[in-house]
Structure 1
Amino acid sequence: MRTLPPVRALLRTGARLPPTAADALLAAVLLFGSIGLNSQVYQGPPGPLILYVALSLPLVWRRRAPLTVFCVVAAAALVQWFADIQSLTDVTLLVALYTVASRSTWRRTLVAGAVLEAGILLAAARWAAPQDMFLSSAGFLTAVATTVAVTGTNTRIRHAYLVSLEDRAVRLERERDQRAQLAAADERTRIAREMHDIVTHNLSVMVALADAAVFAQRRSPDKATAAMHQISGTGRQALTDMRRSLGVLRADEPDASRHPMPGIAQLEPLADQMRAAGLPVRLDLEGDPASVPTAAQLTVYRLVQEALTNTFKHTPRGTHAKVRVSCSPEAVTVDVTDDGPATRVPGPSSGHGIPGMRERAATYGGTLEAGPLPGGGWRVSARLDLRATGDGTAGKGAA
């Protein structure tokens, strides 16, 4: 028991060394241990000493070329058998077999194990004394070799498993970063759509009301005053909507300024706002809006808002618009039509008009159609599938 602390210290020292240095230390320990247990190597010819070196020295390269090192050590052991020299250096065969099992394929391990088993039988046949000890000696050495091979194989499997876990962890971390980047991009796109709808709609209404107020300020001051009040209310509403949309970016933003977002219930005030700006709007609601999720209601509101804003901007005065929203537990359909000219001449596209409306509809696995009507006018029609998740998964699959 007193020899355990030095052995443990030696193992700890070997663990801290580079692989090649540790293998050189192992080869030196086996070599000098065998020489120390067999002092006759100093008194005779140098043949046994050369064999000891040939058995031990290749272990220095055992990690780089496991099978080659095993073959060299096996060849040296075969020469030792022909020379009838017994030595504890034969344990290098077990070290070489362990290295093959832990660093090579199972086919090479079987080949190395078969070669070592042949050497065990030869050694037991020559050196087992008396001869009736052949079976017990061969069986013991075979069990030791099998244990070493199994241990090396388990080490290789465990190492491969750990490598796969590390690779999986790296891939998961990379996928997490990619998901975070995609989520940030989706959030930026969502906020851009919200800002486009809010700013475009409210500014269009405010410009129209301001023009009406200028036109009526001399002939009808009361109407001009009412228009100015409407401008003020529209501006406040725009600021509130912007706080709601941008409030999620600020941790100190009160929840009251972010919720609730506009929904189907706010379509009537939206229609009133458009009427006040000079666009007659007829609103028809069918079904129970309570069955529609809040996020889907916001999508419906933005679709109607964008469609009416386009009608207001690109049609002459006197155009009438009609909005029909049909709600059911499975889907929501939105239909916005007007009787303006079918040929629209919009300004330069910012990329958030009809494309943005299609993106909103696709979020719920829906479709959106926009184009002129056969008898004149323009139509925007959308259908939202409420059975979709609303996170873009189903929508992307349907798009």
Structure 2
Amino acid sequence: MDRVRAVAGRHPMAVDVGLAVLVAAANVPAAAHTGTGMVGWLWFVVAHLPLVWRRRAPVAVFWMVFAVALTVWTVTRVDVAYPVIVILVGVYALARYRPWRQLWPAAAAVEFTLAVAWRQGELPRTDLVALTAILAATGLLGMTVTTRRAYLAELEERARRLERDRDQQAKLTAAAERARIAREMHDIVTHNLAVMVALADGAALTAAAAPQRAADTLATVATTGRQALGEMQRLLSVLRDGDQAPAGPLGLTPQPGLDDLDQLVEQVRAAGLRVTLVRQGTPGEWGPGAGLAVYRIVQEALTNTLKHAGPRATAQIRLRSTATSVDLEVTDDGTHQPDRPPQCPPVSGHGLPGMIERAAAYGGDVEAGPLPGTGWRVRVRLHFDDGKGRT
């Protein structure tokens, strides 16, 4: 049936011609039984021919076949049944393809004609009732089919809209996930490379005077590199396998949080930057997402310090926690910073914009800029109104 409907949809004119021929073939026995001769067969063809255009011009087709039927009844004075069938086909086409307001005049004209024939004694009362019921059923059938087709078309359109919305939502989700992964990759790669560069520079300077110290430093470089490689492989496995990523050191390992800040500070200290961490207050039950945001912001701030503050710089991290908020401040003394930007850079890369995005996810804000004299300060405030934050 679906294939038949598809073929009919592609060739509507052929379907209308076939229907007109089918109706005419069904009416041939009734017309032949009357023995009307050549004139009668001519009227027979004229009555059925307009049905070919019933879909494209149903109003004109109805009034044409109605006029032909009246002519057959009044001029030929031959009792034939096929004009009634042709009129009913015209009524159905009118109800099927035009608004119901255009159906009422046609139904009224047919019913008036039947009533006149009954009053003149040419139509029995039982035939009047039967034809009236058939006329009403034909009109209702056409309107029902129209309503059903419109309902099905609306369901199909709604399904298409839902599919488009689903695809669009999937694309937005994928874009957001790609942005998150890019931000994580930037934080991991930038920080670890900055630490490795600082350690390698230190090893190069001490290789001649203190070979053992240089060897220890290079071992730390290797350890840092392996950690960075492991985190990158974990993120790549998430990109490749999604929720099916394997557990373990290269799979969905736990994300860093507040408890890992001490390890981060030790890693930066090993790179040569003197860092102190001051904690105040007791963190609330914010969830792992909030802890990861704080960790990454501190990591990015220390990475910028390593890159821009100079070899003899010192940095301080102040973390003030409450049940519903975090106030984070990372400062450095900024010694020997010839390439340090004089003001907060524009939001175009992954460093400061990444901090801003992470803070905005928790209703926070970021302040970054130079201190009076020398030095740099990054201050971040995060708010957790529900005391749990977002995961």
Tell me which residue corresponds to 1:55: 47
Structure 2 residue matching 1:291: 3-state secondary structure: coil
* Of 95, 98, 102, the match for 2:96: 102
Tell me which residue corresponds to 1:395: none
Change (3 A) 1:255 1:98: same
Structure 1 residue matching 2:259: 3-state secondary structure: helix
Aligned length: 375
Deviations 1:229-283 (A, max 9, x none): 3222211221222122222134485311231111111111111111222222222
* Of 316, 331, 337, the match for 1:337: 331
Change (3 A) 1:285 1:292: farther
- Check if 1:150 corresponds to 2:140: yes
Structure 2 residue matching 1:255: 3-state secondary structure: coil
Change (3 A) 1:242 1:40: closer
One-letter code of the match for 1:57? L
Tell me which residue corresponds to 1:269: 263
Structure 2 residue matching 1:285: 3-state secondary structure: strand
What pairs up with 1:148-187 in 2 under 5 angstroms? 148-187=138-177
- Check if 1:34 corresponds to 2:27: yes
Deviations 1:296-329 (A, max 9, x none): 3222211111111112211123333222334455
Structure 2 residue matching 1:336: 3-state secondary structure: strand
Change (3 A) 1:259 1:106: same
Question: Given that residues 271 and 281 in structure 1 are in contact (C-alpha distance below 8 angstroms), is that contact kept between their aligned partners in structure 2?
Answer: yes
Question: Given that residues 244 and 261 in structure 1 are in contact (C-alpha distance below 8 angstroms), is that contact kept between their aligned partners in structure 2?
Answer: no
Deviations 1:304-362 (A, max 9, x none): 11111112211123333222334455444433233327986359998211122223333
- Counterparts of 1:285 and 1:213, CA distance in 2: 32
* Of 367, 370, 378, the match for 2:368: 370
- Counterparts of 1:278 and 1:14, CA distance in 2: 77
User: Shift of the alpha carbon at 1:156?
Assistant: 0.9
- Check if 1:309 corresponds to 2:307: no
- Check if 1:79 corresponds to 2:71: yes
Tell me which residue corresponds to 2:378: 380
Q: Which runs of 5+ in 2 are unaligned?
A: none
One-letter code of the match for 2:286? V
One-letter code of the match for 1:24? V
Tell me which residue corresponds to 2:315: 321
One-letter code of the match for 2:179? T
Tell me which residue corresponds to 2:13: 20
Deviations 1:357-377 (A, max 9, x none): 223333444433322345653
Structure 1 residue matching 2:248: 3-state secondary structure: helix
What pairs up with 1:207-286 in 2 under 5 angstroms? 207-251=197-241, 254-257=246-249, 258-286=252-280
Change (3 A) 1:80 1:353: same
One-letter code of the match for 2:379? S
Deviations 1:121-157 (A, max 9, x none): 2343345555xx2xx5444322222221121111111
Change (3 A) 1:175 1:33: closer
Question: Given that residues 292 and 328 in structure 1 are in contact (C-alpha distance below 8 angstroms), is that contact kept between their aligned partners in structure 2?
Answer: no
- Larger RCO, structures 1/2 (Cα 8 Å, 6+ apart): 2
Structure 2 residue matching 1:256: 3-state secondary structure: coil
- Counterparts of 2:7 and 2:221, CA distance in 1: 78
Structure 2 residue matching 1:87: 3-state secondary structure: coil
Change (3 A) 1:152 1:243: same
User: Shift of the alpha carbon at 1:202?
Assistant: 0.8
- Check if 1:116 corresponds to 2:79: no
Change (3 A) 1:99 1:244: same
Tell me which residue corresponds to 1:360: 358
| TM-score normalised by L of structure 1 | 0.81
Query: More deviation in 95-104 or 171-180?
Result: 171-180
One-letter code of the match for 2:259? A
Question: Given that residues 34 and 80 in structure 2 are in contact (C-alpha distance below 8 angstroms), is that contact kept between their aligned partners in structure 1?
Answer: no
Structure 2 residue matching 1:381: 3-state secondary structure: strand
Change (3 A) 1:121 1:203: same
Tell me which residue corresponds to 2:292: 298
Deviations 1:68-89 (A, max 9, x none): 2112112222323433444322
One-letter code of the match for 1:100? L
One-letter code of the match for 1:255? A
Question: Given that residues 265 and 277 in structure 2 are in contact (C-alpha distance below 8 angstroms), is that contact kept between their aligned partners in structure 1?
Answer: yes
Question: Given that residues 187 and 300 in structure 2 are in contact (C-alpha distance below 8 angstroms), is that contact kept between their aligned partners in structure 1?
Answer: yes
Change (3 A) 1:286 1:143: farther
Query: More deviation in 160-169 or 242-251?
Result: 242-251
| TM-score normalised by L of structure 2 | 0.83
Structure 2 residue matching 1:369: 3-state secondary structure: strand
